[in-house]
Each structure stands twice: as structure tokens, then as C-alpha cells.
Amino acid sequence: MNNRAVILTTHSLEECEALCSRMGIMAQGSLRCIGSAQHLRERFGSGYHLDVNLPLSKHQSLDDFVQSALPGSQMIECVNNSLKFSIPGNHKLSQIFALVEEHKSSLEIQEYALGETTLEQIFISFARKYH
């Protein structure tokens, strides 16, 4: 592929990450960022994301717990039984995992997912910002 370029337009960030060495994100018709997948994660990612399903009656308890145990965290979405949090990268993934596991029963957490900010989440944050 020396001296060649291929432009792929897609909404599938997984596909883009698998096929491309560099990618750009467009919002409102303008290119907002460009770089490798790792560069975009480091520059525009926000640490970790925690998605939790639990009864509505426990939403406030979970929010209070996350705010006190993981300073700087923010609830970014609350839909029905699901809450999503953005957790700063200064916390260790193992620490977050251990805290959730330790309080899983008392908070009545039914299921949860914890991971690094994905390219899709970065894309969505640009789409929201420029919408």
C-alpha cells in the first residue's frame, strides 16, 4: 500500500479499527479529529466507562457510591434500569472492578460492563457536541 490511500466511510468503528491505520471523525460536515485508533483514545477518550443494570430504587445509591468511591466520575446516561458512568483514567481498572464486585450485592447490581473508552463512544461524544 506504499504511496496509496484508500478512503473508507463507515459508521462501524470496529470495522474502521480493523482495516485502517489512521481514521478521522466527522461531525456536522467537518473533520473533527484524525489519527490512529490509539491516538484518538488517548486524546479524546475519558478513561473508563461503567455500564450498570440495577433496579430503579437503587439508582441514587449507585450514583452516590460511584461519586464517593471514584472521584471525578460522572453519570452520562440513565435509561430505565441502566446507568452509564464515565470514570477518569487516574483510577486503575483493577481498583474499579474490585469496588464494583465488593458492593455488587448491596447495590443489587444485576449486571455490569467495565472497559476503556471505545472509539464508538468517542464518535458519539463528537456527534453530541456538534449536534
Q: Give the three cell numbers for residue 62.
A: 449507585
pLDDT per position as a tens digit, 3-49: 888 888 988 888 988 999 999 999 899 999 999 998 998 888 878 99
* Nearest by Cα to 38 from 107, 97, 119: 119
Q: Give the three cell numbers for residue 120.
A: 464508538
Ordered domains of the chain (ranges, CATH): 44-117 (3.30.70.260)
pLDDT per position as a tens digit, 37-62: 989 988 888 789 999 999 999 999 99
Q: Quick check: helix, strand or coil at residue 61?
A: helix
Q: What is the pTM of this model?
A: 0.70
Q: Is the dihedral of CA 65, 69, 70, 72 positive or negative?
A: positive
Q: Give the three cell numbers for residue 45.
A: 477518550
Q: Give the three cell numbers for residue 48.
A: 473508563
